[in-house]
Amino acid sequence: YTIVIPPPNVTGVLHMGHMLNNTIQDVLIRRARMLGFNACWVPGTDHASIATEAKVVALLKEQGIQKKDLSREAFLNHAWEWKNKYGGIILKQLEKLGASCDWDRTKFTMDPDMSEAVLDTFIHLYNKGLIYRGVRMVNWDPQSLTAVSDEEVIYKESNSKLVYVKYKIENSEDFITVATTRPETIMGDTAVCVNPSDERYAHLKGKKVCVPVVNRWVPVIFDEYVDAAFGTGALKVTPAHDINDFNLGQKHQLPSIDALTADGKISEAAGAYVGMDRFVCRKQIIKDLQEQGLVEKIEDIKNKVGHSERTDAVIEPKLSMQWFLKMDEISKPALEAVLGGDVKLIPEKFVNTYKHWMENVHDWCISRQLWWGQRIPAWYDNNGNTVVSKTKEEAFAQLKNKNSELKIEQIKQDEDVLDTWFSSWLWPLTVFDANVVKNGWDNANADLKYYYPTNDLVTAPEILFFWVARMIIAGKEFTKQKPFTNVYLTGIVRDKLGRKMSKSLGNSPDPIDLINQYGADGVRVGMMLCSPAGNDLMFDESYCEQGRNFANKVWNAFRLIKGFESSNTETQPTSSKAAIQWFENKFNEQLEIIDDHYAKYRMSDALMATYKLVWDDFCAWYLEAIKPEFVNGKSMPIDTATLNATIHFLEKLLKLMHPWMPFITEEIWHLLEERKEMDCVIVAQWPTATKAADSKLLAEFEVCK
């Protein structure tokens, strides 16, 4: 029974999402261990290129150092220094939560062997013809100066101005008015487009219009794409700065003028406002156009603007040279794996979402303009030749075949690194055998053959495509097998008002503070009490309070039992005998229910059933029934048979509680009796029903209550 951890960002700190996620994994792994499986939970961290690089850049900035003033090597030294200093924090925090990982197996996605596997993967897929390089419209983050994937763009509703700008028509005193929210890209216009069925503009066929500011003449083109009902029904076409305009440009063979620089300023090519920030320019250009009488009107409009998930900067669609992985063929086995039930998504409702995405999957832009990460193993000579290989020497040998004059100093490696997900999609494979890509499944090491495929993956639905789907793809590609059988998708942790917990809102409690306040067991129980599978959970600290109260109750029950004075001479009261018989049946009945909840991954139900068995049935009824009488201010001794039965029950209950509350159960386990060295509840055997519950007896007891 194996779980691989979704590796948290190496420089991150524990947040509520991790807490939920890892508590569930720990409950699963602890129970599996008690069921007698060789339970293996592999921990580790992710290098998270964009997030980590951004942090390092910010740290250096505080010290007065600019990234651009550093060499690649110097920057990476700083990054590693940072990683070595802070990289262990989150794992220590997981330990504090009680996560029973196989800590000796801890991996990092940029360990040398892990990185090598990433390069092997790139080379393998390149040689298979699945990786290509090309100019595409990508989502450009002008702050971190890198392309980001579609999935890393967050569209936010925002209030914008729709500016109606007049373009002069050729050989006429008339104007055509276009509506735009991005007047600062006017300098990049290479056409104006209208719908061919729009009669208002039929007379413009073959005409040219004049782009304001730069006074350049561009053609009027006709395309169904334009919605005649929006704005004026006329669209300015800026192929370099909008994906739709780019497509129009391709279709109508328009030139493309890149009017912006990588860091979001107006470029030389624009021919005006050069060097001005894009947002400053927007305001300025509106003002200038108004002065020239070229603004017809300005409307307020709500539209969605893409922001970078990592830096929150406004994303700029930008043409650039990137590496891509073809997804259509390689993703097919991964789609079938889920549709065919080979990989189960829990809850099932995510199958639809998965299917929809996998059927409409785009090629994956895998290059990032960063330094922190695995550098793309592509090499270029001075003649436009490209080869892909792991070392410079191999690359040189290959390039030499194409270019015999070449000297090794003349070849250059690609400057970009690979997307972080391009390493984490290998995670369930490479944590066991980093050579599997190179050697193939048939030559995989014993570890991988033993542990793979893993059993359960516990993660957030947000990364179903980023990560889960891609792991299935990689698993199928490199081993012909699924990487895991069950994917448990947790909800999103929200506050009690239903807002997503986030740093900026400041509504997220620090998990470590919660642990200090309520104990790790209390927080774990609190978390799991409010976490139905796949539904978001409205977290409130009062759940932790409930968890702590439960731990306290268990402790008090233990104190009572520990305080019993036993006596061989006492005879067992019939009431005690009846209570023992009843509780044994009750236990068996509830155990079956609890096991069933686990089997269906109904975690909070399994916990609640355990909670009620302990509190209501054991403490409130059973213990009250067998508790010896009080005579003359002194508790009477208890007969040995009842005491032994009670201790036995408590041990069985400790086992049931252990996955949820590892700390207190282990402590009580050892205080209850002298134990041999390896006799710990963590490795104790999960109870089995000694016999089927006697429902008649249970019903009779209900009446007696």
Nearest CB to RNA, comparing residues 288 and 536: 536
CB 266 within 8 A of CB 272: yes
3-class state of residue 221 by DSSP = strand
* Least Å from the CB of residue 600 to RNA: 8
- The span from the CA of 602 to the CA of 542, in Å, is 22
Residue identified by tokens 């060295």 is 677
Residue that is written with structure tokens 């355990």 in the block: 610
Compare residues 233 and 377 and give the one whose CB is closer to RNA.
233
Which tokens go with 168? Answer: 């002069």
Query: Are 342 and 472 within 8 A, CB to CB?
Result: no
CB 144 within 8 A of CB 53: yes
Q: Please state the closest distance from residue 227 (CB atom) to RNA, in A.
A: 4
Q: How far is the CB of 545 from RNA (least distance, A)?
A: 7
- For RNA, the closer of residues 54 and 194 by Cβ is 194
Beta bridge partners, 126, equal none
Instruction: CB nearer to RNA: give 32 or 460.
Output: 460
Enumerate residues 432-491 that contact RNA by CB under 7 A: 461-462, 465
Which residues within the stretch 597-626 sit at the binding site for RNA (CB under 7 A)?
Answer: 604-605, 608, 611-612, 615-616, 619-620, 623-624
Pick the closer one to RNA by CB: 227 or 393.
227
Q: Is the peptide bond before 347 cis (omega within 30 degrees of 0)?
A: yes
What residues form DSSP beta bridges with 325?
131, 364
Residue closer to RNA (CB basis): 89 or 560: 560
Q: Which is nearer to RNA, 57 or 460 (CB)?
A: 460
Using CB under 7 A, which residues numbered 332 to 351 contact RNA?
349
CB neighbour class for 274 (10 Å; exposed up to 12, middle 13-18, buried from 19)? middle
Q: Which DSSP helix (H) or strand (E) runs through 164? A: strand 153-169
Q: Which is nearer to RNA, 83 or 597 (CB)?
A: 597
> And the tokens for 606?
């399994």
Distances in Å between the Cα of 245 and the Cα atoms of 168, 241, 257, 265 are 21, 7, 12, 20
Q: How far is the CB of 348 from RNA (least distance, A)?
A: 9
**Which positions from 519 through 538 interact with RNA, judged by CB under 7 A?**
529-530, 532, 535-538
- Part of the chain binding RNA (CB under 7 A), chosen from 4-12, 258-266, 413-421, 557-565: 557-565
Of the ranges 180-188, 385-393, 661-669, 672-680, which one interacts with RNA (CB under 7 A)? Answer: 180-188
Binding to RNA (CB under 7 A): which residues in 131-150? 150
For residue 172 the two structure tokens come to 């006429």
The 8-class DSSP code of residue 187 comes to: G
Question: Is residue 312 within the footprint of RNA (CB under 7 A)?
Answer: no
352 binds RNA (CB under 7 A): yes
Number of alpha helices (DSSP H) and beta strands (DSSP E) in the chain = 23, 29
DSSP state of 105: G
What is the DSSP secondary-structure string of 601-614?
A: T-HHHHHHHHHHII
Other C-beta atoms closer than 10 Å to the C-beta of 280 total 13
Q: Is 360 in the site for RNA (CB under 7 A)?
A: yes
Report the alpha-carbon distance of residue 414 to residue 102 in Å, rounded. 37
Please, which of residues 246-275 interact with RNA by CB under 7 A? none
Of 552, 575, 644, 690, which lies in the binding site for RNA, with binding defined by CB under 7 A?
A: 552
Q: Least Å distance between CB 311 and RNA? A: 17
Contacts of 503 (CB under 8 A, 6+ apart): none
- 155 lies in the site for RNA, by CB under 7 A: yes
In this chain, which of 356, 402, 648, 670 binds RNA, going by CB under 7 A?
356
Candidates 400, 372, 402, 398; CA nearest to 387 is: 398
Question: DSSP 3-state assignment of 452?
Answer: coil
Size of the site for RNA (CB under 7 A): 73
- Contact residue for RNA among 173, 563, 629, 677 (CB under 7 A): 563
Identity of the residue, 608 or 689, whose beta carbon is nearer to RNA in the bound complex: 608
Query: Between 47 and 524, whose beta carbon lies closer to RNA?
Result: 524
> Rounded to the nearest whole angstrom, what is the least distance from the CB of residue 223 to RNA in the complex?
9
Give the shortest CB-183-to-RNA separation in angstroms: 8
Q: Using the rule CB under 7 A, is 46 a contact of RNA? A: no
Helix axes 541-563, 640-657, angle to 10 degrees: 160
Which C-beta is closer to RNA: that of 40 or that of 606? 606
Give the nearer residue to RNA in terms of CB position, either 203 or 349. Answer: 349
Residues in region 377-396 near RNA by CB under 7 A: none
Amino acid at 136: R
* Site pattern 492..511 for RNA (x: CB under 7 A): ----x-x-x-----------
Site string for RNA, 203-242 (x = CB under 7 A): -----------------------xxxxxx-x-xx-----x
Closest CB 256 distance from RNA, rounded Å:
15
Among residues 80 and 615, whose Cβ is nearest to RNA? Answer: 615
Which position has the token pair 């409307």?
Answer: 299
- Is residue 675 a contact point for RNA (CB under 7 A)? no
The SS3 assignment for 227 reads: coil
Give the residue with the Cβ less far from RNA, 86 or 357.
357
CB of 77 to RNA, least distance (A): 36
Minimum Å gap between C-beta 560 and RNA is 3
Q: What does the alpha-carbon distance between residue 461 and residue 292 come to, in Å, rounded to a whole number? A: 52
Residue 120 or 617: the one with the smaller Cβ distance to RNA is: 617
CB of 72 to RNA, least distance (A): 33
When binding is defined by CB under 7 A, the residue of 290, 542, 575, 690 that contacts RNA is 542
Residue 181 near RNA by CB under 7 A: yes
Tell me whether residue 128 or residue 496 sits nearer to RNA (CB atom): 496
Binding of residue 556 to RNA (CB under 7 A)? yes
Contacts with RNA in 400-429 (CB under 7 A)? none
Phi/psi of residue 656, nearest 5 degrees: -65, -35
Of residues 278-307, those binding RNA (CB under 7 A): 301, 303-304, 306
Q: Is 694 in the site for RNA (CB under 7 A)?
A: no
The structure tokens listed for 517 are: 């306040």
Smallest distance, RNA to C-beta of residue 298, A? 13
Q: Are strands 367-368 and 131-141 parallel, antiparallel or unpaired?
A: unpaired
DSSP secondary structure, 636-697, as one string = PPEEHHHHHHHHHHHHHHHHHHTTT-HHHHHHHHHHHS---TT--GGGSPPP--SS---HHH
Nearer to RNA, 39 or 192 (CB): 192
| 92-121 binders of RNA (CB under 7 A) | none
Structure letter (DSSP) for residue 499: P
Q: Judging by DSSP bridges, how do beta strands 344-346 and 364-365 pair with one another?
A: unpaired
- 592 forms beta bridges with none
Residue 538 bridge partners (DSSP): 494
Q: Which of 96, 124, 182, 207 binds RNA (CB under 7 A)?
A: 182
**How far apart, in Å, are the Cα atoms of 410 and each of 73, 202, 391, 406?**
19, 56, 15, 7
| Binding window for RNA (CB under 7 A); candidates: 40-48, 87-95, 213-221, 355-363 | 355-363
- Given a contact cutoff of 8 angstroms between Cβ atoms, the answer to whether 228 and 195 are in contact is yes
Are 510 and 534 a contacting pair, CB within 8 Å? no
